[in-house]
Amino acid sequence: MVHDDEPVLLGRAGRTAHITLNRPRALNALTHPMVLRISEALAEWEDDESVTAVLLSGAGERGLCAGGDIRAVHEDVRAGGSASPAFWRDEYRLNARIARFPKPYVALMDGIVMGGGVGVSAHGGPRIVTERSSVAMPETAIGLVPDVGGTYLLSRAPGELGTHLALTGGAVGAADALLCGLADHFVPSERLAALRAALAGPAVREAADVIGTVREYGTAAPEGRLAADREWIDACYAAGTVEEIVERLLAAGLPAAKEAAETILTRSPTALKATLEAMRRARRLPTLERVLDQEYRTSCAALATPDLLEGIRAQVVDKDRRPRWSPRELAEVTEADVARFFTPPPGGDLGLGDEAPGGDGLGRGAPAPVS
């Protein structure tokens, strides 16, 4: 029996299986049981011939998912527990499962889609954004490195757009999500109900029908801003260090570049330097699984830093938005500090890349039809 108060609602409409993230008061933030439930459902539907596609959405009016439950991470760190690495281990495995899912995995990225919300949506496809979409990987604001495959996705964005988004944690709308490869189609929010109904209809019997239906409801997205900013973004973020990136941004003489520099300087200096290194390494890693292995190391390493606890306190617990980072300045973060983010964690590596089936060389396992 399914209850409406369950954090993940599963259902069927025609040949389309539904996953609804159902914690609207918490903006559908992911918990460990939610991750396990979604993974179990996908494992079941993968071989179910009566299921042609999966549709992911979020309950409530605010968005798909604001990320992982970082309050739980805060409590776990304070208690000296081991729940966070266990959660990430299963969450990152779910991200890889979504990327390898052999059927259309339609993600409605409507409203706020951040952190873990990107992880459960942007590795599938077709991925749909609306005029209300706000997509971000804001981890540097809480002392973390972008995870859930975020450094994989952002490192594959055109030029240095991904580096810009990873360091600032800035949110993008529909057009810029499409430009950066985080989404596939724009569908106006007023047409989502009709799209849902069409995906449940008798005309949807195989994967090509799903792709065709999504395209039928799609249209051109309102203009974004990143395409016009490519020149200064590419020039500034190609620098070798965070300090030099900030210097170039401030010297660019452009209000948007100055704003980016000022935003970066509010983020955790340690997380910023680890993030830049993670992004550069992710570009050289051939598959999503390999990048998730790296992100597991960076996330576990963050648990041993003071900035993670402090960042969550400032942004989520006390909400004073005034984190006291340690070290306080970029120049005080040493190469050894950064290197620690890329060493095996105390509980051992994730090892997902060693277990993954043969991929397509682009990070996916068995290629899923995406657009």
Among 91, 147, 277, 295, the one annotated catalytic: 147
322: left (phi over 0), alpha (psi -120 to 50) or beta: beta
The label of the residue with tokens 């964690």 reads 345
Catalytic residue list contains 347 = no
Catalytic residue list contains 116 = yes
Q: Are 182 and 221 in contact (CB under 8 A)?
A: no
Catalytic residue list contains 147 = yes
Among 58, 63, 67, 116, the one annotated catalytic: 116
Among 69, 139, 160, 184, the one annotated catalytic: 139
The label of the residue with tokens 């306080």 reads 328
Q: CB within 8 A of 119, min separation 6: which ones?
A: 91, 92, 94, 95, 98, 147, 148, 149, 150
Among 14, 58, 63, 68, the one annotated catalytic: 68
Q: Are 127 and 121 in contact (CB under 8 A)?
A: yes
- Beta strands 105-109; 127-129: pairing state: parallel
Catalytic residue list contains 11 = no
Please report, for the chain, how many H helices and E strands are present, in that order: 17, 9
Phi and psi at 361, nearest 5°, equal 85, -5
Q: Are 19 and 54 in contact (CB under 8 A)?
A: yes
Query: Which sequence positions are flagged as catalytic?
Result: 68, 116, 139, 147
